[in-house]
Chain A
């Protein structure tokens, strides 16, 4: 291939790349976001679930979006300690958007959804937040019980004698 033709090909590739990458390259950092996922979110080295975790960002931590790729956002924390990396876009919310309130779907609609097998759509929507089971009840998620409640549960105990009596009364296998 003559030299000039090779240069033209290279220039063409360079222009093509510029056109393709321009939307992300020129986009300025976006302020005003915070971590909306109620359990917080793992921040990763690259935009992939398989990528190693760099750190864990707690819920409500303020972040700046520096870049986006597919459904991922490269973020950096606004306040120290500064950490940066990739998180699923769905885990972020803009400051003016309040955290998602409790489920508003009535049980009637929930019942219909279950009947028609549409539970999965809801599941996929909330999977981004890392919570499949209890999705929108999530605001309660990290609330630990008062220590007294846990102690009360730990105090629940039946003796071997009580078990033996229970087995005998029920005519279960001794």
Chain B
């Protein structure tokens, strides 16, 4: 019996999951539903995830970025945007995916939030930019978002979704043709951004942000400081969207504290660069 089941798994594994209805097949063959569930899991395990190249990820990111900009609009403040790109690109150059073309822009909303689209399109809201007090805190926000990109959180979620069980050829064609499937991928990634990633991904990005801050020599405690700022804002009811898309700042602080204890971090550096931050953002009260 086991040999037969193994044979069935081996036969089904090369097929895209959408090509057959396993439960229906099981019913037709009179196989116990629980057994079919195990077979289905076996087939899923043996099916490799469809790879998504950097180029395809950037294509998708551009499409998602268009939705994000469409929702909020951009702040066309050259000076602040340039500064944002200086801080962001510097962090990204020391990240685990330094070769992606990162772009950083400011979204025109008071809400405190930031978004990382696949492929390196990263957005910070005007509210978030107004909240932070120095460059290290701004770097903490950007490092968190860069981590979502370097860890490919959205891409991984999509690769594990039913959406991508279509076969590698179909997926590759979707990226080429920008057809219906590509549109669904954009929907999926946009939803992931606006609904929020998993809590584990958020904790992971917080911890990774500390690593990136430390690599550049910023005071890595800025990440913790940003979370405490968010906690204050949350108490004031100013982080409505963020509260719905991220774990609570209190939980994030607790997880970050636990992660830092396992990281063997050096003494924090004193570099916060509050004056440079003020110099570049002095026009903050007059966004275009």
**Contact string against B for A residues 151-174, beta-carbon threshold 8 Å, 1 for contact and 0 otherwise:** 011101110101100110111110
How far is B273's CA from A88's CA once the two chains are assembled, in angstroms? 51
Give the residues in chain A near B101, CB-CB below 8 Å.
154, 157
Known: A123-B244, A157-B103, A173-B216. A144 touches B237 (CB 8 A): no
**Residue B236 at the chain A interface, CB threshold 8 Å:** yes
**Residue B203 at the chain A interface, CB threshold 8 Å:** no
Give the residues in chain A near B215, CB-CB below 8 Å.
173
Among A111, A122, A135, A144, the residue within 8 A (CB) of B70 is A144
Residue count of chain A within 8 Å CB distance of chain B? 47
Q: Which of A56, A170, A171 has the most CB of B within 10 A?
A: A170
**Residue B218 at the chain A interface, CB threshold 8 Å:** yes
CB contact list, B180-227 vs A, under 8 A: 180, 184, 187, 190-191, 193-196, 215-218
Contact B89 A154 (CB under 8 A): no
Give the residues in chain A near B237, CB-CB below 8 Å.
107, 110-115
Give the residues in chain B near A137, CB-CB below 8 Å.
71
Interface size class of B (residues with CB under 8 A): 35 or more
Q: Which residues of B contact A (CB under 8 A)?
A: 18, 21, 62-63, 65-71, 73-74, 76, 81-82, 85-87, 89-90, 93, 101, 103-105, 121, 135, 162, 180, 184, 187, 190-191, 193-196, 215-218, 234-241, 243-245, 271, 273, 276
Task: Offer 23 A-B interface pairs, CB within 8 angstroms, sorted by A.
Answer: A40-B187, A52-B21, A110-B240, A111-B237, A114-B235, A115-B237, A123-B244, A131-B191, A133-B245, A140-B71, A141-B71, A144-B67, A145-B68, A150-B65, A152-B76, A153-B69, A153-B103, A153-B105, A156-B82, A156-B105, A162-B89, A166-B87, A172-B271
